[in-house]
Amino acid sequence: MRSYSKGAEVLEPDGDTSVDVDRPRWNPLTRLAFRFGFVYFGLFCLIFPQILFVFTGYFTTLVPDSWIVGLWRPLGPIIEWAGRRIFGTDVALNLMSGSGDQKFIWAFVVCLLIVAVVATVAWTALDRHRPNYQRLNAWFLIFIRLCLGGQMLWYGLAKAIPTQMPEPSLTALLQPYGEFSPTSVLWNQVGSSPVYQILLGCAEVLGGLLLFLPRTATIGAMLSLVSMAQVFVLNMTFDVPVKILSLHLVLLSMVVLAPQARRLADMLVLQRPSEPATQPDPFRSRRVRAIAVAVQAVLGIWIFTGGVHMGMKYWDQGGGGTPEPPLYGIWTVSEFTMDGYPVPPLTTDENRWQRLVFDISGTTYQRMDGTLVPTLTNVDTAAHTIVVSGPPATPDAQPAPIANFTFDQPTSDLLRLTGQLNGKPVTITLEQVDLDRYPVHRGGFHWVQEYPNFR
């Protein structure tokens, strides 16, 4: 049978294609970089819990916590030992902190770097005569591309369904700006404009979807690179504890784009003709290739539907779709009596309340000095009772009781509490605050503005 050579492929009459392993040798630095990247990024994607977790799709909410941690649990003793030896400190993983930049995770990255360097040296010594890694590189890039696509979909949907950065809470409206951490400033800034957050999320979702199709993977990786670079800069400048993962998503985008670097430079920088930017392909026939493309597309849809399912669950159970609790709003104390005597509104008074806030996330009272105290509160609208308790000192302790009230509401904006506060009889009259008095809550958009609204 005749065959026709074209570039790096051998074209058979039946349309099958295969990678030509006899093509010119990769230069030594390219082979070295591939070996290191294969080990480092391959292990990172396999071990970092969040990356493979998204492939559970629609069943994400049913996955046990032990599965979410993945290989970190069995590798924990090794990483903790390395943390003590390398950093000279304990690096136990705290699953409840929500931080992706814990000492344990930094120790994991260092261990991974050491393993990758050692493996690269050994691989180079044992396989120094191989001219290239065309086929292995193609499979590796598919794996990296799918992992990156899953993360882009997951993070994008958390913004497209605006749950990652919710609108500022009612207590945030009462908190002085100077008391916010940089992370809180960023969260409230983005949360104040749901449309902006949704657009950010849609860009990330689009990048993720494009990554699941080989034909559109290059533009998807470019969009992911821009999106994740912005996220990484925000994490660095606002001290958001997701620096490790966001940096690696930037690097994974660059790995996917690496085979297209020369073509992109020709087209975008050097302004000269370029070959089509095609993703490396390990499949030998059109039929197998078509099946592989279909599988990747179905996998992208599976992750997308799982992300939508989880996003809508969070939206309905703590996000913007959560029903407002009874007495929702900010209530300012207008009268406060204790032991039958009026209590003046002195900032030095440690017993008198200044405000009471009923929010979706919980109930908070504000002391006269401005301190906001979160509480565990049960409002029974049928019995007209309110039970207020302080958070337990330890996870095993019982909530500390603070107050028991009966309440009546003569009008929609007037509330009267009668009962015990810290063991003393009190009567508290409160007036509801119009939330539109806060410009950040009122929002608004104006095509025509005679003056900027910096107030």
**pTM for the structure as a whole:** 0.86
Which amino acid appears at position 314 of this protein? Y
* pLDDT at position 61: 74
CA distance 195 to 64: 34
Percentage of the chain modeled with pLDDT above 90: 61
> Residues 399-403: what's their mean pLDDT?
86
Summarize pLDDT for 214-224 with one digit per residue, the tens.
Answer: 999 999 999 99
DSSP type of residue 391: P
The 10s digit of each residue's pLDDT in 303-348 is 999 999 989 988 888 788 888 899 999 999 999 999 989 999 999 9
Give the dihedral sign, CA 333/339/340/343: negative
The pLDDT of residue 282 is 85
Nearest to 355 by CA among 181, 166, 170, 169: 170
19-23, 46-50, 59-63: lowest mean pLDDT where? 19-23
Q: Would you list the DSSP string of 428-443?
A: EEEEE--GGGSHHHH-
Mean pLDDT of the chain: 88
Q: Which tops the pLDDT comparison, 111 or 455?
A: 111
Asked which of 16-25, 75-84, 300-309, 352-361 is least confident by mean pLDDT, the reply is 16-25
253-289 tens-digit pLDDT = 999 999 888 888 878 888 888 777 777 788 888 899 8
C-alpha 363/C-alpha 379 separation (Å) is: 10
Q: What does the pLDDT average to over 427-441?
A: 90
Average the pLDDT over 293-298 and give the result: 94
Tell me the H-state helices in 54-164: 65-69, 72-82, 103-126, 134-160
Question: What pLDDT score was predicted for residue 284?
Answer: 83
What is the Cα–Cα distance from 439 to 120, expressed in whole angstroms?
57
Residue 394: DSSP 8-state: S
3-state secondary structure 7-51: CCEEECCCCCEEECCCCCCCCHHHHHHHHHHHHHHHHHHHHCHHH
Q: Name 30's Cβ contacts closer than 8 Å, sequence gap at least 6.
A: none
Strands 424-432 and 9-11: unpaired
Place of tokens 């994991």: 108
State the average pLDDT over residues 161-180: 92
Residue 15: pLDDT over 80: no
Helix H or strand E encompassing 406: strand 400-411
Inter-CA distances, 57 with 62, 66, 148, 303, 311, Å: 10, 17, 15, 5, 12
Half-sphere exposure of 1 (CA within 13 A, CB side): 8
313/310 Cα distance (integer angstroms): 5
Which architecture, in CATH terms, is 329-440? Beta Barrel (2.40)
**Local structure of residue 384 (DSSP, 8 states):** T
Share of the chain above pLDDT 70, in %: 93
Average pLDDT over residues 171-181: 92
131-140, 243-252, 336-345, 386-395, range with the lowest pLDDT: 386-395
Give 3-state DSSP helix, strand, coil % of the chain, rounded to 5: 50, 15, 30
349, pLDDT greater than 60: yes
The ranges assigned to domains in the chain are: 4-316, 329-440
